[in-house]
Structure 1
Amino acid sequence: MILVIDVGNTNITFGVYESKKLVTTFRMTSRTMRTSDEYGTEILAMLQNNQIDRRKVGGAIIASVVPKVMHALIGAVVRYLHTEPLIVGSGIKTGIKITSENPKEIGPDRIVDVVAAYEKYGGPVLVLDFGTATTYDLVTEDGRFGVGITAPGIRISAKALWEDTARLPEVEIKKPDSILARETISSMQAGLVYGQIGQTEYIINQVKKETGITDLKVVATGGLGRIIADETDTIDIYDSALTLDGLRILYEKNCSGK
């Protein structure tokens, strides 16, 4: 078994794979600072709660966009699982040719997503991740990744509404029954969700227009991606496990035979 760890700006998502099968997932917040012992005991507790024998975890891989948690998290994996984790970063084998002007600026999370989408669905593919930020990354048919768009995520937009305006409340992010809102909460929900749908459709269509790629597959992932994917036919596939699968694929590419 291998443990895959995706450290995002909001949550740390863990997945356990047995061969290519995702056995279980669990999460903890990435905004709470922890020591390596705290990470270690929480990881062991969550493995136990999911009926996973920690002695069967023979490898680990981490992709992180939050550098400040890495020292303690790596220490926890080494000390409590007795394995040195592979870190997604410069020098890792991906099977993707990164052709951007500064490849080192590409976030590990985006690399993981494009690797997974290309391996699972082929190219050309546009990968959308509805996370803290909403990202759109293009991989060509021959596996080149050099084009990406970054926009504020739905939660960032929502937070700006209720934190920067005196009289707007915090609301649940969901699609209201109608865009023709008659009160404050559904008005905010309409703006957030329909606004994201409109942005998504425009960016996808503009990418197709400027690249001239008519057979572009569009794959979405991320916590709120399901809400958007269900409301637009410009998204072909919603894959909730895309990032975790990408970590597993990268582990196999770099650690097979070890």
Structure 2
Amino acid sequence: MGKAGQDGVVTAAILVIGDEILSGRTKDKNIGYIAEYLTAIGVDLREVRVVADVEDDIVDALNALRHRYTYVFTTGGIGPTHDDITADSVAKAFGVPIDFDPRAVALLQQRFKGPDLNEARMRMTRIPHGAELVTNKVSLAPGFWIGNVIVMAGVPNIMQAMLDEVGPKLKTGKQMLSESIRADAREGDIGTELGELAKAHPDASFGSYPFFDDKSGPNTNIVVRSRDPQKLAAARAAVETMLREVKARLKAQAQSN
């Protein structure tokens, strides 16, 4: 299974597989869900890639990601059709054979009887050698977990069921805490000062997110993040002090004009 880094941080990447995502025919609904799920349990999502149904592209992306992060979650490409090549690509990346897995066959036999378990559906029972199954209560067709790679369906409700299955088994790090502060100032008015705060508080991260308020016009939300509650509180206090100083300066400039 995956390993946490020396600093105790557990990292992850998502590899989205499918021509339909790249063509725009299907709108991805999994990335945001997985990101929120991982954040809540203390796993840092660091990268997302989207690749077509091309074996070499999947293998290259998977090998790059699995050597860099604690976990890699893939979505898509494990259905019954000819272009569902994720399982074969994962087997190739790990250099292991792939074949019909009796455990997976038994699961599908619960749903499909006799001739209904046809050649196409049997494709969903092909699992790389050495992988553990990731079951789901929705369709019974399994995903799998090999090394630090967790292979899940692309259909959102099935993917969510699979994520619920693997979630309790994941290594987790210290959860990232965050607080949001409404700046009541434009992003350009606080950009320099926010950069200075980031340098002064290296154990916290600062993000600015502009938005438009119908009453006050251009505005900004500042989000402060840290794994240490005390450092988070100190960073928030520093932001609030900075905002008071900026507003006082802007007010003085307005009065002088």
When the two structures are superposed, what TM-score results if normalisation uses the length of structure 1?
A: 0.26
When the two structures are superposed, what TM-score results if normalisation uses the length of structure 2?
A: 0.26
Q: Which of these two proteins has the greater Rg computed from alpha carbons? A: 2
